[in-house]
Amino acid sequence: MNRHIYTFWQNVSRACAQYPEYHYGQAFFNVLHELRPDLAEKIRGTEIDPFNSHTSTEPEVAQAAQFVMENW
């Protein structure tokens, strides 16, 4: 796995722990926006935007994760 993508996933986990009031998708999107604002803007407001997903198992999160992995 690309070390930058690994860092992304680590940061998502940290954000979830640091901000328990965040939805999982909110943490995912905020970290993505911090590290790769270009990718965040490509998914913002689309059907794969994970921002409002409550858990990591929702389809939007899986689709956004696939997009990130393919486009990092």
For the segment 2-44, what is each residue's pLDDT rounded down to a tens digit? 899 999 999 999 999 999 999 999 999 999 999 999 999 999 9
23: left (phi over 0), alpha (psi -120 to 50) or beta: beta
**pLDDT computed for residue 1 by the predictor:** 66
Phi, psi of 13 (to 5 degrees): -60, -45
Q: Which residues contact 48 (CB under 8 A, 6 or more apart)?
A: 60, 63, 64, 67
Report the amino acid identity of residue 44: R
Is the four-CA dihedral 8, 49, 53, 57 of positive or negative sign? negative
**Model confidence pTM above 0.85:** yes
Domain ranges of the chain: 3-71
- Residue 72 pLDDT more than 80? yes
**pLDDT computed for residue 31 by the predictor:** 98
